[in-house]
Structure 1
């Protein structure tokens, strides 16, 4: 089929984008944590900034890789490919959840029970604003 090489190229491009997202995220995390350390925010704040930013870039990279896997499976659909994709998605979902829990320090459903949606958004905005300083 003529579309298979096209799908392979598209998957390679998307996977490259995923790698770039993770690498750029690491660089941004290093810059932000260094800035926090130089401003006198303390080692704890710099570490928290580093950890949160790296976690976010890994999460975004995982999402991009899942998209590449879905496109790869669509290029030559078979039951075996679908099963492998399902397993990959399950593993990456578990990884994403554990990273998200690690970043936020609480379970997603627990956070939703403890705070309203507006408070969650406000906390995210203030966290991003303090990380950007």
Structure 2
């Protein structure tokens, strides 16, 4: 018979697998969309690259959310030591930095800034964003 810690480890593993799958499927999906767009040639290369980078970044962000959730579950429910909490804090700090960096790369603004105005969009399109 399995104990509670075994169930938590299995749940954590499942969440980690989902997070990893999101990143992998998102990466290959955005790559496929990029290649199809490149072959069809219906949009500019700059737009295709911007869409590829945006899709890849969003996949990474979503996958990281799941991976951090798995780390939180594992740290809080299974091994709540000071060392594991410090490791978790480091992971969350790194993930937050990555999230902010990817958000700036994808949207061209900090997460706490309001959405772009309509007059900004044409200038961004010219720059390939």
TM-score, structure 1 normalization: 0.78
Shift of 1:35: 3.2
The answer to which structure has the higher helix fraction is 1
Shift of 1:2: 2.2
Q: How does 1:78-93 map to 2 (within 5 A)?
A: 78-93=81-96
TM-score, structure 2 normalization: 0.80
1:2 correspondence with 2:3: yes
Q: 2:16 is matched with which residue?
A: 15
* Partner Cα separation in structure 2 for residue 65 and residue 103 of structure 1: 20
Aligned Cα root-mean-square deviation (Å):
2.0
Aligned length: 116
Q: 2:69 is matched with which residue?
A: 67
* Partner Cα separation in structure 2 for residue 81 and residue 20 of structure 1: 25
Shift of 1:36: 2.7
Structure 1: segments with no counterpart, 5+ residues: 124-133
Moved >3 Å (runs of 4+): none
